[in-house]
Structure 1
Amino acid sequence: MFRTRMIATAMLFNGNDLLMMKRSPQRTLNPGMWAAVGGHLEPEELNDPRAACLREIYEETGLREDEIIDLRLRYILIRANRQELRQQFVYSGYTARRDTIQTDEGVLHWIPRTEALQREIPFIFHRLLEHYLQNGPAPHIWVGTAGFTDTAQPTVHWTALCDPGAV
């Protein structure tokens, strides 16, 4: 039986830099690794992951909604991890503000796009960031499911999310 974990994440850019957090070694999930800002959806946010994303951005960076430009859902990641099914909503946006607050969750850094993939990043976020940096923002949402290649190597399978009824 699977438990579920729903997460909202933001890839925030300023110019050519991506805001990343070096997670605290005391964190339960991915301690000491690099990630985007974000966190778990609260019960009242289950039907509004964007609200959860904005809340997490504010809690972890101090950036307000009116300081973020073009915040859009870009990816939905789905992964089984032990007895847990994880669904992650990933948004991207831009901000002109570079100053951020610091929290006990980790230390924030503006990382040049060309250096972001050189950090120690959780597998599925590494694949997402790789995909985003190669393809850029799409007019549709990408769904990524964690799986394996034919040679049993871990991978993420990408599918464009579409509404067949809208055609």
Structure 2
Amino acid sequence: MKLRQLAVALLVNEKEELLFLRKRKEDAFFANFYLPIGGHIGEHELNNPEAACYREIFEETGMTRSSIRDLRLAYIIHRLKETEIRIQYVFVGRVHANQILVPSNEGELFWMSTDSSTLTTNISETTYELVKHFKEHLSTNEAIFVGSMHSAQGLPAITWSTLEDWERKQ
């Protein structure tokens, strides 16, 4: 079994739109799909997924740390894909809608609303479930959510729980 770790950013503007990268049509991995900003965590970043997230944001958008407000770990998603366990560390941060974005060689950048009609075309199942949960829960919650991707009656789903230090005194 292989382990793949990813750092992903849900970047939100003041219109509550999310920044997505539409992969190129000729890409082998998620061709023409809309994905949050992010990618693989490098070997030197394994203990610091936030650093990997900032690196991916810069590589795919040109934005620096100073362009992003309140970036924080909000989700950890687990998924089994064939012989690979995938762990996504999803960070959420705020940016301005008029933020200058550098063209990416990985695809085209788009601000997208989170309404259900927008999220039905060329969005991975994991991204769909993540954005659906984000819309329903995260705007008013500072918790870190842990999700496990699975099949629910043949359809993709994520079961969510909050990450807690159960030994911490309240």
Normalised-by-shorter TM-score class: over 0.9
After the TM superposition, which residues 7-18 of structure 1 pair with which residues of structure 2 at under 5 Å, given as runs? Answer: 7-16=6-15, 17-18=17-18
Which has the larger displacement, 56-65 or 136-145? 136-145
Give the conservation status (yes or no) of the 8 Å contact 2:114–2:131.
Answer: no
Task: Tell me the equivalent position of 1:52.
Answer: 52
Secondary structure of the residue that 1:32 maps to in structure 2?
coil
Give the conservation status (yes or no) of the 8 Å contact 2:54–2:64.
Answer: yes
Task: Tell me the equivalent position of 1:121.
Answer: 123
CA distance in 2 between counterparts of 1:69 and 1:147 reads: 32
The answer on 1:102 being equivalent to 2:103 is yes
Please point out which of 139, 144, 148 is paired with 2:147.
144
Note the alpha carbon deviations across 1:99-121, whole angstroms, 9 max, x for none. 20112211001112335423321
Note the alpha carbon deviations across 1:105-156, whole angstroms, 9 max, x for none. 110011123354233211011101011011124221001101122x343211
Task: Tell me the equivalent position of 1:78.
Answer: 78
The answer on 1:130 being equivalent to 2:129 is no
Amino acid at match of 2:136: Q
CA distance in 1 between counterparts of 2:119 and 2:28 reads: 22
Secondary structure of the residue that 1:164 maps to in structure 2?
coil
Secondary structure of the residue that 1:104 maps to in structure 2?
coil
Which has the larger displacement, 124-133 or 23-32? 23-32
CA distance in 1 between counterparts of 2:39 and 2:143 reads: 23
Give the conservation status (yes or no) of the 8 Å contact 1:18–1:110.
Answer: yes
Secondary structure of the residue that 1:36 maps to in structure 2?
strand
CA RMSD of aligned residues (A): 1.4
Secondary structure of the residue that 1:47 maps to in structure 2?
coil
Amino acid at match of 1:91: F
Unaligned 5+ segments in structure 1 are none
Secondary structure of the residue that 1:129 maps to in structure 2?
helix
Consecutive aligned runs of 4 or more in structure 1 exceeding 3 Å deviation: none
**TM-score, with normalisation over the residues of structure 2?**
0.91
CA distance in 2 between counterparts of 1:162 and 1:121 reads: 30
Note the alpha carbon deviations across 1:58-88, whole angstroms, 9 max, x for none. 0100100011000011100100001111000
Task: Tell me the equivalent position of 2:3.
Answer: 4
Which has the larger displacement, 37-46 or 115-124? 115-124
